Copies of this chain bind each other. A is one copy, B any other.
Amino acid sequence: MPEPSVVLIEDEPQIRRFLRATLTGQGYRLFEATTGADGIVEVGSRQPDVVVVDLGLPDMDGLEVIRQLREWTDVPVIVLSARGEERDKVTALDAGADDYVSKPFSAGELLARIRVALRHTAGASHEADAATFEVGELQVDLLHRRVFVGEQEVRLTPIEYKLLTTLVRHAGKVVTHQQLLREVWGPVHTDQAHYVRVYMAHLRHKLEAEPARPRYLLTEPGVGYRLAAD
């Protein structure tokens, strides 16, 4: 893992400053959001290794944030809360949180619990995170953000690239329209199913020898798309 990234969803400026200093000081890449809605978008676009979320947010219940995240990602979620009562802990953990830290908390403990979360994902994602993906003539270098067909490099727009890497991350498995829309365009646009169709056409045009009879970017009618795995 190069440098692990964290999305912090926290509205109180004081705590945010404190955690910013703590986390960046430890070498984490930090992305911040001050509302639940922003936080969910941020998680979708940054694909962090850990999420730290405060339960007391202005716009929506922290629990609701967890539930919405859990609909499409297994990223470890650590809850911060001013309340330390059993009921709150149990509710949050059962909603999908992986850990619960009561305020006032110490930096050391939070860091240690983040390390635990990272340990979990490090073990789990062995298959997924090769820095480069290959199938047939197609080659995706995730580290340098470059894509080749045979010897020829192909230029992709930001959305094209993101769509492709989303498929790469689930190579061989079907990715639903919903999932693609959520991970590429953000959770707000999950009803714009035609985005995917248009961009899949773009990608096929750039990557496939015969766009009409694709070898890599396969359609799963009524469900979504799949990137051929071999």
Contacts and interface: CB of A to CB of B under 8 A. Distances in A.
Interface residues of A, number: 34
A221 B143 CA distance: 17
Interface stretch (A8-16, A87-95, A205-213): A87-95
A151 interface: no
Nearest to A223: B158
A93 B113 contact: yes
A113 B222 CA distance: 38
A222 B112 contact: no
B145 A220 contact: yes
A67 interface: no
Interface string A106-139: 1011011101100010011000000000000000
Contacts of A74: 123
A173 B86 CA distance: 41
Contacts of A226: 145
A49 to B, nearest CB: 15
Contact of A145 (B86, B106, B124, B174): B174
Nearest to A91: B112
A42 interface: no
A17 interface: no
B123 A108 contact: no
A157 interface: yes
A109 B86 contact: yes
Contacts of A145: 173-174, 220, 223, 226
Contacts of A90: 108-109, 111-112
Ranked nearest first, the 4 interchain pairs of A and B with the lowest CB-CB distance are: A158-B222, A93-B112, A86-B106, A90-B112
27 contacts: A74-B123, A86-B106, A86-B108, A87-B108, A89-B108, A89-B109, A90-B108, A90-B109, A90-B111, A93-B112, A93-B113, A93-B115, A93-B116, A94-B112, A97-B116, A98-B120, A99-B99, A120-B120, A124-B124, A144-B173, A144-B174, A145-B174, A145-B223, A145-B226, A157-B221, A157-B222, A158-B222
